[in-house]
C-alpha cells in the first residue's frame, strides 16, 4: 500500500500546483496599433485574493526583447512603462482594470507585451507571451493604404456606382454608428472595403471598425465583403477612437473599394459628416431587479447583432462576409502560466481517476 500513499502525495502536490497556477488574467486589447497612437488594455483578474494591485504593461521589441516601444498613462501624464500604475485594481470591489498605453516607436514592429501585477506585500505576478502588431501610416504593406487621402487614377469605365448612407443623428462621439455602402452593376469579382472618419488636422483616421467584440483601426480594408456580380451592400460599424473622444464638429467620411485580387481601386470618395459631441455620463439610478434583468436581455441581444459576421486576422487584414460566410478561426493568445495550469489540471484529473480505479480494485480483491 506504500505506492498508494505516494500516489496520494503526488496528487496533493499537483493539486497545490494547479491552485497556484490558477491565478491568471484575461486581457482585451487591439491586436494592431498605429505608431504614435494610444490604446487601452482591459485586464481581468482570475482567482486572485482580495487585495489592491499595482499594474504595469511593458511593450518590448520582440526582436531583442529589451527596446521599449511604449509609455504608460498614470492618470496625469505619460511615464516610462517600467513604472507601475499604483492601486489600479482593488479586487475587493472589482477584478477588472483599464490601463492606457501610448505607442512611442516610429517604426513598424512586433511588440512583446508583458503584464506585471504587484500586491500590497510586494509579491509580483508576471504574464507574458502576448503580442501587439505596430504599423505605420507609411507602411509598405500592399494590403494597407499608406495615406487615406491619396488618389489613384482609374479608368472611368472601371469605377463602381456606389451609394453611402448613414443616420446623421447616430454619429455621436463615444457611441457606435453604422455606415451602409451599396454597389450596383458589379462584375463577377470580390471587393475589399474601407470606411473611415478623417480629420484634416490629423494625418490618420480618427475612427475604429467594430468586429467580433473588438474595435480595430480603420486604416485597414475589410477584405472580400462585397461580392459580385450584380448588386451587393455591406454595413460597417464604427466609433471614434478613445484618444479623440473630445472631438466634435465637421470632418469627412472616406470610402474606398478595391478589387480583392488586383488591389485596383474602383471607388474612392469623401463626403462631409458631422460628429456630435459626446454625451456626459449620468449616475445610474437604482433599478428594480426585474427591470435590470430586462435590460440585461436587451444588452445581450444587442451584442449578438453581428452574429452573421466572422473574421480572420491574417496578414493585418480583417476578413468579413455578409453572405456565403466561411467559418473562420480567431487567434487566441494563452500565457505560459495558463498552458501549464491546463496541463497540470488534466494530469491531476487522470491521477484521481486512476486512484479511484485502484481503490475499487483493491476493495474488490479483499
Q: What is the pLDDT of residue 50?
A: 92
The mean pLDDT value for 182-209 works out to: 85
Check: CB of residue 273 under 8 Å from CB of residue 253: yes
Q: Please state the rounded mean pLDDT for residues 178-204.
A: 86
Q: Tell which residue, 34, 77, 84, has the closest CA to residue 57.
A: 84
Which of the four pLDDT bands, split at 50, 70 and 90, describes residue 285?
low
Q: For residue 148, what pLDDT is reported?
A: 41
CA distance 302 to 297: 9
Q: Is 274 exposed, middle or buried (0-12, 13-18, 19+ CB in 10 A)?
A: exposed
The three-class DSSP label of residue 200 is: coil
Question: C-alpha distances in angstroms, 275 versus 149, 179, 215?
Answer: 19, 13, 18
Give pLDDT, residue 137.
Answer: 59
Residue 149: its pLDDT value, please?
Answer: 40
pLDDT at 306: 36
| pTM for this predicted structure | 0.43
Instruction: Give the per-residue pLDDT at 21.
Output: 56
Instruction: Tell me the pLDDT tens digit for each residue of 96-130.
Output: 999 999 998 878 888 899 999 999 999 999 998 78
Long-range CB contact pairs, 305-314, < 8 A, 24+: 306/210, 306/211, 306/212, 306/237, 309/211, 309/212, 310/212, 311/211, 311/212, 313/31
Q: What is the pLDDT of residues 320-349, one digit of tens each?
A: 333 333 333 333 344 445 555 566 677 777
What is the band of 85 on the pLDDT scale with cuts at 50, 70, 90?
Answer: very high
Share of the chain above pLDDT 90, in %: 35
Over residues 18-43, the pLDDT tens digits come to: 555 578 898 888 878 888 888 999 99
Strand 214-217 with 52-61, pairing: unpaired
User: What whole-number distance in Å separates Cα of residue 336 and Cα of residue 85?
Assistant: 24
- Across 64-83, average pLDDT: 90
Q: What is the dihedral of CA 28, 71, 61, 211, to 10 degrees?
A: 30
Using DSSP bridges, classify how beta strands 318-319 and 222-227 pair: parallel, antiparallel or unpaired: parallel
Amino acid at each position: 500500500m506504500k505506492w498508494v500513499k505516494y500516489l496520494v502525495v503526488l496528487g496533493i502536490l499537483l493539486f497545490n500546483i494547479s491552485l497556484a497556477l490558477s491565478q491568471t488574467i484575461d486581457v482585451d486589447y487591439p491586436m494592431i496599433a498605429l505608431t504614435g497612437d494610444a490604446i487601452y488594455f482591459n485586464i481581468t483578474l482570475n482567482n486572485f485574493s482580495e487585495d489592491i494591485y499595482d499594474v504595469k504593461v511593458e511593450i518590448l521589441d520582440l526582436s531583442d526583447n529589451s527596446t521599449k516601444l511604449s509609455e504608460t498613462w498614470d492618470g496625469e501624464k505619460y511615464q516610462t512603462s517600467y513604472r507601475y500604475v499604483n492601486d489600479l485594481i482593488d479586487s475587493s470591489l472589482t477584478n477588472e482594470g483599464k490601463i492606457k498605453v501610448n505607442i512611442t516607436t516610429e517604426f513598424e514592429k512586433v511588440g512583446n507585451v508583458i503584464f506585471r501585477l504587484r500586491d500590497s506585500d510586494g509579491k509580483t505576478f508576471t504574464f507574458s507571451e502576448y503580442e501587439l502588431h505596430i504599423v505605420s501610416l507609411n507602411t509598405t504593406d500592399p494590403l494597407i493604404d499608406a495615406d487615406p487621402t491619396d488618389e489613384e487614377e482609374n479608368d472611368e469605365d472601371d469605377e463602381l456606382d456606389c451609394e453611402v448612407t448613414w443616420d446623421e443623428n447616430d454619429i455621436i462621439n463615444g457611441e457606435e454608428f453604422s455606415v451602409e455602402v451599396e454597389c450596383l452593376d458589379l462584375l463577377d469579382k470580390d471587393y475589399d472595403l474601407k470606411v473611415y472618419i478623417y480629420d484634416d488636422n490629423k494625418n490618420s483616421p480618427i475612427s475604429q471598425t467594430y468586429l467580433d467584440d473588438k474595435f480595430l483601426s480603420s486604416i485597414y480594408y475589410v477584405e472580400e465583403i462585397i461580392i459580385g456580380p450584380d448588386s451587393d451592400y455591406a454595413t460597417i460599424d464604427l466609433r471614434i477612437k478613445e484618444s479623440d473622444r473630445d472631438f466634435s464638429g465637421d470632418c469627412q467620411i472616406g470610402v474606398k473599394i478595391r478589387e480583392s485580387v488586383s488591389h485596383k481601386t474602383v471607388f474612392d470618395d469623401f463626403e462631409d459628416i458631422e460628429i456630435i459631441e459626446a454625451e456626459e455620463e449620468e449616475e445610474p439610478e437604482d433599478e428594480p431587479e426585474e427591470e435590470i434583468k430586462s435590460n440585461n436581455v436587451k444588452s445581450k441581444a444587442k451584442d449578438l447583432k453581428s452574429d452573421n459576421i466572422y473574421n480572420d486576422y491574417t496578414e493585418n487584414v480583417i476578413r468579413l462576409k455578409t453572405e456565403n460566410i466561411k467559418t473562420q478561426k480567431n487567434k487566441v493568445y494563452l500565457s505560459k502560466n495558463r498552458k501549464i495550469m491546463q496541463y497540470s489540471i488534466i494530469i491531476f484529473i487522470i491521477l484521481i481517476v486512476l486512484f479511484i480505479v485502484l481503490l475499487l480494485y483493491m476493495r474488490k480483491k479483499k
